Amino acid sequence: MEKTDVLIIGGGVAGLTVAKFLAEEGIDYILLEEHDDFFKKACGEGVTPFLGNYAFFDLYESKKGIENVAEGSIISTKYGAMEYPLPNIICDKREMEAELARQATKKGGEIRMNTKCEDIAGNVALPQEIKFKICVGADGIHSFIRKKLGIKNPDLGVGMYGITEEIDKERNKCYIEFKKEVIPYGYSWYFPKKDEWNIGIGTTRVEYFKEYSQKFKEMHSNEIKWNGSFLPVSKPLKPYSKNFALVGDAASHVIALLGDGILPSMICAKILADVIIKFAKNDYRNIDFSIYEERLKKEIYKHFLEGYRAYKILSSIWFSEYLFHVFLKIMNRMAKKQISAGAGI
Which residues, in sequence order, are CB contacts of 167 under 8 Å at separation 6+?
190, 192, 197, 199
**Sheet containing 197-203, strands listed edge to edge, beginning at the edge strand earlier in sequence:** 80-84, 72-77, 173-178, 186-192, 197-203, 156-164, 227-232
User: Per-residue pLDDT tens for 173-222?
Assistant: 999 999 999 999 999 999 999 999 999 999 999 999 999 999 999 999 87
Res 344 pLDDT > 50: no
Q: What's the pLDDT at 242?
A: 96
b/e sequence 26-36, b meaning 16+ C-beta within 10 Å? ebbbbbbbbee
Q: Alpha-carbon distance 128 to 2, whole Å?
A: 8
Contacts of 243 (CB under 8 A, 6+ apart): 123, 133, 134, 135, 287, 289
56-110 tens-digit pLDDT: 999 999 999 999 999 999 999 999 999 988 889 999 999 999 999 999 999 888 9
> Is the predicted pLDDT of residue 331 greater than 60, yes or no?
yes
Share of residues in the chain with pLDDT > 90 (%)? 86
Average pLDDT, the chain: 93
Rounded CA-CA distance 330/336 in Å is: 10
Predicted confidence at residue 342, as pLDDT, reads: 52
pLDDT computed for residue 84 by the predictor? 87
Q: What is the spatial distance between Cα 313 and Cα 15, in angstroms, rounded to a whole number?
A: 32
pLDDT in tens, 286-314: 999 999 999 999 999 999 999 999 999 99
The more confidently predicted of residues 262 and 335 is: 262
Average pLDDT of the segment spanning 142-167: 94
Q: What is the pLDDT of residues 110-128, one digit of tens each?
A: 999 999 999 999 999 999 9
Give the residue among 246, 263, 243 at the shortest CA–CA distance from 254. Answer: 263
Domains defined along the chain, listed by start: 2-343 (3.50.50.60)
pLDDT confidence of residue 291: 97
Which pLDDT score is estimated for 43?
86
pLDDT mean over 138-144 = 96
